[in-house]
Structure 1
Amino acid sequence: MAAIHAAAREAFAEQGYHATSVRDIARRAGVSMAALYYHYEGKQELLFAVLRESVEDYFVTCEHALAAAPDDPAAHLDALVGATVRYRVRRRAESTLNLIEVRNLEPRYRKLLDARVDTATRMWAGIIDDGVRAGVFATAWPDDARRAVIAMCNAIADWYRPEGAVTVDELVERYVGLARTIVACS
């Protein structure tokens, strides 16, 4: 199934959901159509599987980073920004798919992914709200700050290239600084 996921991810990222056929995914994966249909009902279920796998990896990445961080809102923000930046760099194709192709999911699949997105939103909001309550973040607009930080981190998948002049560690440092500025971290 890993080969099928990789082929679907690659095809969706290169061509988009609508331009990708199940036959193309099977060919890229080096499996027969029958083998692909044995594991998946069709292209819709494959898109959901690829997106769900990516979202779950994001949560694991964030949970590990938060577990390793000291117990204070600024450290949690730093950890979450760092984990998100590293994730967006490491899984650029999936990040783009999650931001763009999710609109092509049928309602039953979309509802499942939306629930995970809501969980991520609450994770970010909780950290920022904790920081405001503790007096560590002075932003007057915590919801806007959350949206701004998430948006800037999500955009990395569109423009960042590992072979460029900025290393991932430098990018994390910059984005942590930007996030702290947005939330008015003291």
Structure 2
Amino acid sequence: MTTAAVPRGGGREAITRAARESFAERGYHGSSIRDIAARAGLSLSALYHWHSGKQDLLAALIEESTEEYFRRCDEALRDAGDDPAARLGALVRATVEYRISRQVESTIAASEWRNLDPAHRERLDGMRAAATRLWADLVEDGVARGAFRCEHPGDARRAVVAACNAIAHWYEPDRGLAVPDLVDRYTAIALRVVDCR
């Protein structure tokens, strides 16, 4: 009995990198599994060792980058203490830094979400809902404690999240806008939106 060769070192990472590049350049429908394998420097059989196909690759790319986002948010909130304004600033910072450092993945997730099959979409919708709940709980806690005085917490939360997420679409490092300055700017915007006194 013969067994298929298992890719050595960096096989999975090479596939992820190749899929990210191909989806960013050509979109989901314009990318072929053969092209992704070629970009990764692997055979099709080696690619199939890690992923069952292009749909699985797209879902894995979105899931892995979303898990990293949650890790960053958890770390930021853990260090922020209990003050609602500090916690909101920490979540804004984690989101802005993530959207800048993972621009390609952020753009792919936003533009290719519609191409996920129902099973993948249902599973990943849970991650999206968890992110929404993270922000909503933070804003609602600030309102309940009198730190935020916005009349419409849900709308305030949507406005802040949309602004932070949009950074992935327009940010260019060579514009001369340093990331810490952008974080400060968006934190100030967020605090005004929730009417932090």
**TM-score normalised by L of structure 2:** 0.93
Provide the residue aligned with 2:165 in structure 1.
154
Deviates more, 1:157-166 or 1:123-132: 157-166
Q: Are 1:56 and 2:67 an aligned pair? A: yes
Q: Which amino acid in structure 2 is aligned with residue 14 of structure 1?
A: E
The 3-state SS of whatever aligns with 1:18 is: helix
CA deviation map 1:111-155 (0-9, x unaligned): 111100100100000000000001110100100011101100010
Q: CA deviation at 1:55?
A: 0.4
How far off its partner does 1:39 sit?
Answer: 1.3
Tell me the residue number matched to 1:47: 58
Partner of 2:37: 26
Pairwise CA RMSD of aligned residues?
A: 0.6
Give me the whole-angstrom Cα distance separating, in 1, the residues matched to 2:114 and 2:190: 28
The match for 1:89 among 93, 100, 110 is 100
Distance (whole Å) between structure 2 residues aligned to residue 24 and residue 48 of structure 1: 18
Instruction: Specify the alignment match of 2:185 in structure 1.
Output: 174
Residue of 102, 109, 117 corresponding to 2:120: 109
Among the aligned pairs, what percent are the same residue? 53
TM-score with structure 1 setting the length: 0.99
- Map of 1:59-78 to 2, 5 A cutoff? 59-78=70-89
CA distance in 2, matches of 1:117, 1:35: 31
1:184 is paired with a residue whose SS is: coil
| Aligned mates of 1:68, 1:164 — CA distance in 2 | 30
Count the aligned residue pairs: 186
Alpha-carbon distance in 2 for matches of 1:14, 1:145: 34
Give how far 1:101 is off.
0.7
Residue of structure 1 in register with 2:27 after alignment: 16
Could you list the runs of 4 or more consecutive aligned residues of structure 1 that deviate by over 3 angstroms after TM superposition? none
Structure 2 unaligned residues grouped into runs of 5+: 1-11
Letter of the 2:69 counterpart? Y
Distance in 2 (alpha carbons) for counterparts of 1:104 and 1:170: 35
Q: Hey, what's the Cα distance between the residues in 1 that align with 2:75 and 2:24?
A: 27
Residue 138 of structure 2 aligns with an amino acid whose one-letter code is I
Q: Which amino acid is the alignment partner of residue 38 of structure 1? A: H
**Aligned-pair CA distance for 1:51:** 0.5
Letter in 1 for 2:110: L
CA deviation after TM superposition for structure 1 residue 164, in Å = 1.4
Q: CA deviation at 1:14?
A: 1.2
Q: What is aligned with 2:136?
A: 125
2:90 counterpart residue number: 79
The answer for the alignment partner of 1:6 in structure 2 is 17
Indicate the residue corresponding to 2:7 in structure 1.
none
